[in-house]
Structure 1
Amino acid sequence: MELPRPPDLMSVPRPLDGLDDGAWLDVIQKMDEVYSRLLADEVALEQKNAQLEASQQLVYSLLSSMSDVLVAADAQGQIEQTNQALCELVGSTDAALMGVPMHSLLYHGQGADLLQGMMQRTTHLRQGDTVELMLRDRAGQSVPVDFTVTPRYDGRRRCVGYVFVGRPMAEIKRAYRQLHEAHEALKRTQQQLLHAEKMSSLGRLVAGVAHELNNPISFVLGNVHVLNRYTTRLRQYLDAVHAEAALSHNPELMVLAQKLRIEPILRDLPSLMDGTIEGAQRTASIVDGLKRFSALDGEEREVVDVNAVIERAIHWVRTGMKLDFDVELQACPGCVVLGNAGQLLQVLMNLIQNAYDAASALPDVTPVLKIKARREACWLEIQLHDNGPGIAPEAMSSIFEPFFTTKPVGKGTGLGLSISYGIVERHAGTLTAHNHPQGGAEFVLRLPAVQK
């Protein structure tokens, strides 16, 4: 702005009547002072304008560089100011958002009542509040934003609007979910390592126990069979003695036989011998299982057709044990692994037998087993899903431990799954169990596949 220059002294009109030259000089001096003050005010005004522009540029740069979204709204919730982060999030310009209701940014209007109630609450409490709102992004998808809402006041402490500062939580929640999954995977790996170490220690311990038990069990079995033959001979002899006593009418011998309960003893001896032999044989089978559980894998490996092993296991369980149940097999043509066919057959027969036992425990339920074999990258996965009651949560962490069983006494030794676990582990695979979402238990056997 350019101010008018003061009049030149030479162009000053002739003094009017009644005014001398001194008066005119005073007037001209006052005009110079006023002009000087106007120049100083102009310089100060230009400095203030420059400072104001610098402040506005700073505020604009700060708003543009904020990663958090910012919205300034009036008392009715109409948008008055936004920042670049919000514009990029919702895919709109700052000019297009001016005067738009705040609730129009919500995804399908979800949370409009929550937004209105929060604005009223912050006004009443005269302090900020926090709420999570679902905004609609530029792709039309919902994105969670954690907003902090603060009321704005004028000089008379009247609420004239609100300031919304929010942080999109999608990336944070995704990172948290990935961190949680990594933590769970780490815990599973740690449990597997602890379990593998525990199984290795148990294997060494069981090998020694089985070796020590094998000799006395052999003695018991051998002696009981001999004692059984002796019992037969003694019975023949006592029958002859009793017959002779009856013929000779020896009442003392007959009274002694009744007093000693010789006849009941002779009748009980066969069942006692059979029970002793059965118990010894059962103990021998347990020891044999312990030996297989602890044995090192010294057998030669060969290429094994997994489908053939599964079909053979189903056949032997059905025909050998005379079990009636439905099996739905989804084979994997051409899937082969490197391993021992006999040991893998033992694993699958044990899993199929356990599936039948679990499903048959439910009344009025036909046992059904779904077996699915599939190739996944460099792994072969076999899933066995039964329609039984599932695995109890308290038993989930113990099902692969030796001697742990949920079957009644006499129905299981608790070694089947532990032996199967050891066999699969020696094949560089994994055997896991969980409850299926559709009910029942599901065992998953994973083995390294042969690369063709």
Structure 2
Amino acid sequence: MPRLFATFSDWLSSPQRSLDPKRFAWLYVAVFIICLLTLWRGGDALKQQQTQDLAIDTQEQLDQLASVVESVIAKYQHMPTLLASNDRVRKALRDGLPSDINQLNRELEQINRITEASDSYIIDTNGDTIAASNYRLSTSFVGGNFAFRPYFKDAIRGKPGRYYALGTTSNRRGYYFSYPVFEGDSIIGVAVVKVDLTQFEKRFSNQAYDFLMLDPDGVVFSSSRSQWLYKVMGELSHEELIRIAESQRYFDQAIETLPIVSRREYSEHANIIEMLDKVTDNLGNELVERHRYLVMSRPIQLLNFQVAVLVPLTSIEEQIALWRAIFAGGITITVLIFGLAHLRSRMLKERSDAIEMARHNQAYIREVIQHTQAGLVTLDDRYRIEALNPAVETLAARPLSSLIGRPLSDLFQVSEVDRERWMAALSTTSTDSELRLTTVEGKFDIEGADQDVVVEATLCELQLPNRRSHLVTFHDMTERKRYEQEITDARRALEIRVKERTSELEEANQRLRHEIAEHKTTQQELIQTAKLAVLGQLSAGLNHELNQPLTAIRSFADNGLKFLEREKYDQAKGNLQHISQLGHHMGDIIARFKVFARKGNVGHTPIDVQTAMNGAMKIMQPRLKEADIQVDMPDNIQVAVLADMVFLEQVLVNLLANASDAILEAKTSDKRIVIRVQPFYSKVHIYVRDSGTGLSENAIEHLFEPFYTSKACGTGLGLGLSISQRIMDSMNGDLTARNHPQGGAEFCVTLNAYELEQ
């Protein structure tokens, strides 16, 4: 076996046989799956073959059993005919003399002893038994009435009778043959022979199979197992159970169902069932186990019965399980052999790789030590120099071979700052990790050297077998010192530059804050200027709007004086009331313009959209009325937004003013402005659309730029829409424009909706 492992591992480790580990793992998985399928399919095939052979043998045993049952029972079917033709039987039935009956009992007993029948007896026309072969027993049929039995009813009508039942007197199962006893043409009695089936059960009880005899209703009438008696393999209807009970065929026995768990068809004449069987263990405890049987059946024409053979499949299943276990064990052993061989090949390969790697590492380390820029010195346990590499001589700028075997202090002098720590590291025998690696700064101090070289030395302990050793690493500090000084100078220069730049940035920030404050002031002035510009455009309409109430007030005042002179006080009071109403109307107009014209900061409070539209309309009403422009707007919008009332009115006034100018420039007969409000989720959109000619592509591109206007020369400053957009930005809203599909320009004001907290 070791030779086999070595040969197989050599085969695996050979270059042409080396496999990728992943591919090798997949190969193992594939082989394992194939072995499992082979194990499973092979077991099924073997099981199928053995079951088929068992079915052939069972069929032969079934035929033999059926022929034995038929031949044994057939010899009793003519015995009632012979008894019915016996003169002593007719004489006993005719005369009923005790001597004749006693003689008949003895003859019946002798006949049963010779024929090995169970019982023979003679019944009169009333169904009473007058003689029986078991007249000596306590369970004798003599005197018993069997008129209710079907075999008696058939014979008394002149036909041979057959019947099977559980004896009500003997409590033994039997098959009954009957025949009428004739006296001339008259029936004077019935001769009956009962065949006990227990002898067949004993005869076949020690076979390798179990058998069942099923009556026409499917009830087990005879079986090699007593616990299966009076049970059915299928299901009986309620009517069938009632009929069986009324016939007293099975006396007081309960008809139950066999504990069949599953059933499947194996062939045309065979089924495989799984049934629960009660078994007793060594301690006498009753257990329930599942057993599988091969079931085959055939009819017994003579009895109108079915005989079934149940062959346990336990032996086949145990053989299949054993075969599978042996096969699985072989597969496992094979897999283990292959695995061990593969593992050994890997171990050999890893060992070879490790040896090669160690050889390579040693050569690499030697090359590194010889060519590294760091100086390396090894010390013995007394801190004497054992070896050094060429880099140390390069740092010292002279040969140092004469220092071999001398103390390290002849080569290296530690700085005053690190002297105590360095001496503690050299003198300690502790294994503390902090002393195993100690870095200090010092210089080479060699006799006869031209100059000292500042170096950094690192001392570490070497883990060598059976002795203590140290390794000292030297690095030239000249360049590092120079770099550190340059970095220090650069850092100082940078700090000075940062301070200067910070001061400049602070001055720039101060100027920027001042410019932002001026920009805000300028923006407020521009907004106020735009308001005043709108008010200037509306002044003519305002004069007209105020002139009419003033004229009416003068008329009402003159008339009121005349009414007072004529002492018509009621008419004078009415004129004064009209004057008061006109005064209030003029006050509302002036107040709205004063609110619109005042300065203020943007606020974010809940405002009613309908109120803002009504306020803008009051301001624009004189101009719109003068231009004969009709405005279509909703009058009951229940929507609130987060905005500033004055600034929202200013935006709406600007949009209405631009719409009015666009309509007048278009010179169209349809002078109409449409305002609509559309809430959408958390936003509210206010659309203002005119019936003008719309906007050009250039106007849409530059519409919100300051001092850009699409109106005629000398009309407008080009600041209205730019300021309106800034106002919308300050209220976290938006202002957009487009050409409406039905004509004209449409502006959309978008604001955040205000929702009441529930």
* TM-score of Structure 1 vs Structure 2, range by shorter chain: 0.3 to 0.5
TM-score with structure 1 length normalisation? 0.35
Bigger radius of gyration: 2
Q: Whose helix fraction is larger, Structure 1's or Structure 2's? A: 1
